[in-house]
Amino acid sequence: MKEQEITLTSDQDLPDPYASVELWATFTHDDGTVLRRPAFHDGGRVWRVRFASPVGHGAWHWKITANVPDPGLEATGTLPVEPGDDANPFHRHGFWRMSPGGRSLVHADGTPAILVADTAWALPWRATEDDVLDYARDRRAKGFNAVLLMSVQPDMRASGPRDRTADEGFAVGFEDLPTGRLNRPNYAYFRYLDRLLGILAEHGIVPVLQPVFQGFGWKGLDVAGTVVPPPEYARYCRYLVARYGARPAIYLVGADGSGAEPQIEAGGREVHDADCYGQPTGIHYRPHARATAHQAADWLDFQWCQTGHGGEHVPERVADMWRETPVKAVANGEPTYERTGGPGVATGWWQGHEAWSNLCAGSTMGVVYGAANIWQWVHHDGEPGHAPYFLGPGGGWREALDYEGSTYVGLLGRILAGLPTTDMRPEWETFIGPRGLSVPGELHIVYQESGVRLPMMQERGTPPAYRIVDPRTGEVLSTGRLRPGETIEADPGRRPRVVIFHRDA
């Protein structure tokens, strides 16, 4: 699924083009498949359509229509399929979508996937291309495959130089966002964001795109996400789908709120209607909220709780969401950020245990990590203007890349890569005590916090072949076979371990 682009130029200057002009492109494949994509305005008289073929052969015949009478915006043509890079899993297997049971991610061809996301909310308006290249290389090497991003700086009262490299500075996505409106986009901002997201895509890191935040925001000021008129919020969501939805993406239409804000439903429905690829759409909640808003909505794919920044392990929040119906995928979208609130808060293996315990409680969509100084993209130690509570000591975002906990979270994805994790579910009946996940007959994962004896109590479809992995290093410690009534002995050092039973081990 390699992105291709069609450019159109209007014959005349059109009034209020972002808000008033709509273009849609209908793509019909040689085999009769029809896909529909929105176009986006890119300044002046220029509109663009971005498209990625979900099949690797043939050609697509396209027709573009507009809601205004302008010959330059009415066009037809043919787009031959361009083969993608087989080394890129999204070119080889297709974009992410939800699994048949709605519990986990799969690629378009059914290949299982697990989200391993970092949190760099402020990257879009504070980072440079060189910054993002360094960031993406580090996160890919550690095993991350996604990153949470606020698409624009959301605080209406934020002030600072209009310079993403300056202290307290930031680039501006909408000129009228300080008044709670989204009608005057800064196209230079979005062209730069094109390049930043392109770097992430080249490194296999999927942007989790949040339109306008509903909660704390960047400076903790008045966020526009609860003020913007819902139709404007929805239109911006469609713009994000048009501009970035022909690449791998996840749409986080609500973030850090109650989930009941009217902007969230308006945005979710718009994404659902505009995205022909069915990429995941969901909500991320503030800590003091029940994560069940819109549970039955057809546009909603996932619910992400937040357990706050006090350094507490609360996997039962995930377990509660897992039991809600209709079924949605769940995750803890914001555990305590490493070194937030103090140099020893949620550090090191705390993050690894948090990831594995959340996963086994039902966070089968994946896991999310965050760190002080990265989420707000602090340029250097002591940069002014940030809430002291959220600042990590001794550096900025670059130094925070090396916080120990990120290594353990990234390893989770590497340890489970290639396993049949689709729609795995918590399982408590095969063994005594440990956290576990199962796909009967195919896979059973056991996470032991302290490596105690592991007796298999009864036959529950667990494959007999296993390997024991150190979740702190990824090293395979031993292999073997286990039957009901038999026991894996305790780890001599009572260290954490992951035991993976796999039919094809």
Residue 272 belongs to domain with CATH number: 3.20.20.80
Do the Cβ atoms of 424 and 437 come closer than 8 Å? yes
Name the domain boundary from 41, 59, 84: 84
> Do residues 246 and 312 both lie within one domain?
yes
374, part of any domain: yes
> Do residues 368 and 402 both lie within one domain?
yes
The dihedral formed by the CA atoms of 300, 253, 340 and 337, expressed in degrees to the nearest 10? 40
> Do residues 67 and 170 both lie within one domain?
no
> Do residues 152 and 267 both lie within one domain?
yes
List the structure tokens of 164. 């993403």
> Do residues 299 and 339 both lie within one domain?
yes
320, part of any domain: yes
> Do residues 74 and 98 both lie within one domain?
no
Task: Tell me how far apart the alpha carbons of residues 246 and 238 are, in angstroms, rounded to a whole number.
Answer: 13
- What confidence score (pLDDT) does residue 82 get? 84
Edge-first strand listing for the sheet containing 435-439: 425-426, 435-439, 443-448, 497-502, 465-469, 476-481
Residues 6+ apart with CB under 8 A from 227: 156, 180
- What confidence score (pLDDT) does residue 486 get? 95
Into how many domains does the chain fold?
3
The β-bridge relationship of strands 3-9 and 34-38 is: unpaired
270, part of any domain: yes
421, part of any domain: no
475, part of any domain: yes
422, part of any domain: no
354-392 pLDDT per residue, tens: 999 999 999 999 999 999 999 999 999 999 999 999 999
> Do residues 113 and 194 both lie within one domain?
yes
> Do residues 139 and 228 both lie within one domain?
yes
pTM for the model stands at 0.97
> Do residues 412 and 445 both lie within one domain?
no
DSSP character at residue 152: S
Task: Tell me how far apart the alpha carbons of residues 263 and 497 are, in angstroms, rounded to a whole number.
Answer: 43
Name the domain boundary from 84, 103, 129: 84
407, part of any domain: yes
CA triple 73-75-79, angle to 5 deg: 130
Q: How many CA atoms lie within 13 A of 195 on its CB side?
A: 13
CA triple 284-285-288, angle to 5 deg: 165
The β-bridge relationship of strands 435-439 and 443-448 is: antiparallel
Whichever domain contains 29, its CATH number is: 2.60.40.10
Task: Tell me how far apart the alpha carbons of residues 424 and 436 are, in angstroms, rounded to a whole number.
Answer: 10
197-249 pLDDT per residue, tens: 999 999 999 999 999 999 999 999 999 999 999 999 999 999 999 999 999 99
Name the domain boundary from 392, 416, 440: 416
45-83 pLDDT per residue, tens: 999 999 999 999 999 999 999 999 999 999 999 999 988
**Domain ranges, residue 453:** 427-502
- What confidence score (pLDDT) does residue 88 get? 87
> Do residues 467 and 366 both lie within one domain?
no
Buried b / exposed e over 169-207, threshold 16 CB at 10 Å, is: bbbbbbeebbebbbbebbeebbebbeebbebbbebbbbb
- What confidence score (pLDDT) does residue 87 get? 84
- What confidence score (pLDDT) does residue 257 get? 97
Task: Tell me how far apart the alpha carbons of residues 328 and 407 are, in angstroms, rounded to a whole number.
Answer: 28
258-314 pLDDT per residue, tens: 999 999 999 999 999 999 999 999 999 999 999 999 999 999 999 999 999 999 999
449, part of any domain: yes
Please confirm whether the linkage preceding 326 is cis (ω < 30° from 0).
yes
Do the Cβ atoms of 146 and 250 come closer than 8 Å? yes
> Do residues 77 and 101 both lie within one domain?
no
Task: Tell me how far apart the alpha carbons of residues 228 and 276 are, in angstroms, rounded to a whole number.
Answer: 26
Please state the separation of Cα 107 from the chain's center in Å. Answer: 14
> Do residues 80 and 120 both lie within one domain?
no
- What confidence score (pLDDT) does residue 505 get? 60
| pLDDT exceeds 80 at position 84 | no
DSSP character at residue 359: H
